[in-house]
Amino acid sequence: MATKISASKFSKTQLCNKHDTYAAADDDASSQDNQRRKLLSIAPIYTLPFLLGGENTASAAVPASTAQQTNVALSPAASALCADSEEEARISIFERVAPSVVYIDTFKQKQDVFSTDIMEIPIGSGSGFIWDNEGHIVTNFHVIQQAKSAQIAILTPNNGIKSSSSAAIEPAYTSVRPGALGSNGSTTFKDFTRTVYKARVVGVDPTKDIAVLKVDNEDNSPIKQLRPIQLGTSTGLRVGQGSLAIGNPFGLDHTLTTGVISGIGREVKSPSGRPISNVIQTDAAINPGNSGGPLLDSKGRVIGMATAIYSPSGASAGIGFAVPVDTVKYIVTQLIENGQIVRPLLGVNILDSKQSRQTLGITKGVLILEVKPGTPAAAAGLKGIRRTESGIIEIGDIIIAVDGTSIEKEGDLFKAIEDYKPGDTVKVTVNRPQIEVTESGEPEIKLKEISFSVKLIASDDSTFIQK
């Protein structure tokens, strides 16, 4: 049976957030068969409000001893009310966050065929978001990787009046399609002006696919009326949570897509070849041009930065990935303060694990190609590949563990030392190929396990992989 409960005391938000269907236990003492099939009760501690057929009738909370299942469901009118509430929430989030999302055009330089003039040639576009009131813009490293310069379009609340910033430019080219927000003829954000600025690079981190740009006035003073985005946290995210992405796919600026968090703890490869860990997977549509845009939670807070898609066609297939915002926070803070990220390294060149498997048959571990001269790794005794006086090539050490963490491939090695700092000492365990003579007098290669204490060195994020 359906219970009718008054909704007059509850707001629309309470009504839509608290409705559900509850099964009460069948406690009919008149039937032993029913007693044997008695259900465990999930009894609410308070009465759940809903509307049914427009009637307002009060009823007590459903007791656990109710003799039949009680369905608490919204009427069509109430369902429409809740749908409107969800729609209004999305609209509110978009209108609040969109001015914090920027459009990035990138250019390379090319000499004119008929003169010595240097021209700027457009090579791509992407998304980003405003980090602070100082004009820092966060995006993906791969968005600007090949670029010599970049221009950034920002929505500023000037009530339709063109920005008076001394840094604003009239772009000779933009990849944005007609009808851009803040442009002439746009009815959305009609009180905002779309202003374009030249950007400079503050710092990049290819290993996490993060870059920080900056826009200033000509006197280096901050541009007024910027809207920094609200940051959330990627800690405690759960599969099934709602997610929203705002970006500029295919030149369509400030596009909103929605979905859910489809997975957490994923791993994708960065432009440097190293793995990015704890990546968020979402089915909110992410397409070329979304890169660098924010992934939001249901309250409009940033939980990640769109970085990659998995798609045979190159367009959205419902599998998108975002760098977790907690990682972004740490990297961006370091780039703003220091201009670079300093990471610990062993001081060795390594061979890509796929290549070592195919050519040398190494099924576990990472082969050392070269030990950097003068490094603690060289002093500790690690060995790379070398050619003997007789012309025979000797295989170098194969790293199989770091401080007890097993190493199967180069990604495992990067992750194993990522939590350390330059100057820390780690225990590196290797398999060292050695030639031994069998009882029959035949030479045989055997692997001997050896451990070394190696002091980690500092690096500016160079990637030591021979491909």
Would you say residue 331 has pLDDT above 70?
yes
Specify whether the CB–CB gap between 398 and 368 falls below 8 A: yes
Residues designated catalytic: 142, 209, 291
| Average pLDDT rounded to a whole number, residues 233-244 | 95
Confidence tier at 239 by pLDDT (50, 70, 90)? very high
Provide the H-helix boundaries in 367-406.
376-380
Task: Provide the whole-model pTM.
Answer: 0.70
Confidence tier at 75 by pLDDT (50, 70, 90)? low
Say how many CA atoms lie within 13 Å of 236 toward its Cβ: 3
For residue 120, give every residue at least 6 positions away whose Cβ sits within 8 Å of its Cβ, in sequence order, or none. Answer: 107, 108, 109, 110, 148, 149, 172, 173
**Tell me, what amino acid is at 200?**
R
Cα Rg of the chain, angstroms: 30
Q: Cα–Cα distance between 425 and 440 in angstroms, integer?
A: 43
- Predicted confidence at residue 156, as pLDDT, reads 84
Q: Cα–Cα distance between 130 and 86 in angstroms, integer?
A: 26
Confidence tier at 342 by pLDDT (50, 70, 90)? confident
| Average pLDDT rounded to a whole number, residues 241-267 | 93
Q: Which of 421, 128, 141 is nearest to 274 (CA)?
A: 141
Q: Report which secondary-structure segment, H or E, holds 13.
A: helix 12-18
Say how many CA atoms lie within 13 Å of 42 toward its Cβ: 9
Specify whether the CB–CB gap between 248 and 103 falls below 8 A: yes
**CA distances, 439 to each of 432, 433, 445, 446 (Å):** 21, 19, 14, 14
- Predicted confidence at residue 338, as pLDDT, reads 87
Would you say residue 297 has pLDDT above 80?
yes
Q: Cα–Cα distance between 356 and 352 in angstroms, integer?
A: 6
